[in-house]
Amino acid sequence: MDKLRAMEFFVAAIDAGSFAKAAEALELSAVMVGKHIRGLEKALGARLLERTTRRHALTEIGAAYLERCRDVLASVRTADGVAESLRALPQGTLRVTAPVAYGAHRLMPVIARYMAAHPQVQVELNLNDRVVDLAEEGFDCGIRSGAAVEDRLIARPLARSPMFAVASPAFVARHGMPAHPSDLEALPLLAFAAWGPNHSWRFTRGAETVRVPVRGPLVTNNGQALLTAALAGVGVIVQADPLLTPALDAGQVVRLLADWDLPARDVHIVRLPEARPSAKLRSFVDFVVERLG
């Protein structure tokens, strides 16, 4: 028995004055209404109504129970209203995860504008270069860069991120500017751990493609750490433009082989499938896609 539903039938029957009128209002049969109320009495172990051929009168227990039922149903309606308002108006805490460089340099300015537009939303941004399980770790949405998006997630594409090869000016002065991708094989190349042990950089120019195996003195799982190593003159790195553009604009690193292209990284904003996503999640995803898509 659905006890909450039975309470609703009980209150409706008292307010309507009979099972028949309550059934009409609820678009059910009088038999079904009576069945639910009898089930409620059985569960309570007490009679709620004194039944005669003409009418149903509340027992003492029934009168007391009726008031509590009204309180419970009112609380349920209030809870439903709160849930509906949360869906209708962006508010509450939104948990977002993103790769470190993309989150800091591309996403954070957009989040600042979103929060200005929706002051009742608090954003918790977690920056991490590993692939985060949204469901397991309790995130509303996330940015995926490069990694394949699982079928179980709803993904919307954002603008792809170009990849550049860079090194510090001091490194270039010491080793010379490479004229061809094959020249990189004689230089220390710094690796990103997520690429795996046998990764190579694929440079293309027109119909020509050159693969350069990445072998060097440093492997790390953090793009910012790679950039710091490049700034210190440790070697050549390949990373995406959100991380490298500020350093390039400041002259801290030099782009190598500018007439060659590296594969751009796919970027998506992803969320778990939900029939009716909350207003905060729906509005945030749309906001990000509009500005970074």
Rounded to the nearest integer, the mean pLDDT of the chain is: 89
Residue 161's pLDDT is 93
Q: Which range has the worst mean pLDDT, 117-126, 148-157, 221-230?
A: 148-157
Residue 250: C-alpha distances to residues 162, 191, 231, 245 (Å): 18, 23, 12, 8
Q: How many CA atoms lie within 13 A of 238 on its CB side?
A: 31
Q: Tell the burial category of 58 from Cβ atoms under 10 Å away from its Cβ (0-12, 13-18, 19+).
A: middle
Sheet with 163-167, side-by-side order of all strands = 237-240, 163-167, 254-256
Q: Is 254 helix (H, G, I), strand (E, B) or coil?
A: strand
Decide if 161 contacts 102 (C-beta within 8 A). yes
- Domains assigned to the chain: 3-88 (1.10.10.10), 92-157+266-292 (3.40.190.10), 163-263 (3.40.190.290)
pLDDT digits (tens, 9 = 90+) for 31-63: 888 888 888 888 888 888 887 656 678 888 888
pLDDT, average across residues 200-210: 96
Largest Cα span, the chain: 105
Least Cα distance to 129 among 155, 112, 104 occurs for 104
pLDDT, average across residues 239-251: 94
Kindly state the tokens that stand for 197. Answer: 């042990």
pLDDT, average across residues 19-25: 79
Residue 53's pLDDT is 56
DSSP 8-state class, residue 219:
E
**What is the share, in percent, of the chain residues with pLDDT greater than 70?**
96
**Confidence bin at 87 (pLDDT 50/70/90):** low
pLDDT, average across residues 151-166: 93
**Confidence bin at 256 (pLDDT 50/70/90):** very high
Least Cα distance to 47 among 33, 62, 57 occurs for 62
Residue 129's pLDDT is 83
Least Cα distance to 66 among 48, 52, 41, 54 occurs for 48
Residue 140's pLDDT is 95
pLDDT digits (tens, 9 = 90+) for 178-201: 999 999 999 999 998 878 888 999
Least Cα distance to 33 among 44, 21, 43, 42 occurs for 21
pLDDT, average across residues 265-292: 91
Interior/surface letters 20-53, b for 16+ CB within 10 angstroms, e for the rest: eebbeebebebeebbbbbbbbbeeeeeebbeeee
pLDDT digits (tens, 9 = 90+) for 95-135: 999 998 899 999 999 999 999 999 999 999 999 888 889 99
Q: State the pairing for strand pair 191-192/219-220.
A: parallel
Please report where in the chains the tokens 């028995």 appear, as a residue. Answer: 1
Kindly state the tokens that stand for 287. Answer: 């906001």
Residue 117's pLDDT is 94
Compute and round to an integer the Cα radius of gyration of the chain.
Answer: 32
**What is the share, in percent, of the chain residues with pLDDT greater than 90?**
54
d(CA 282, CA 293) in angstroms, rounded, equals 15
Q: Is 217 helix (H, G, I), strand (E, B) or coil?
A: coil
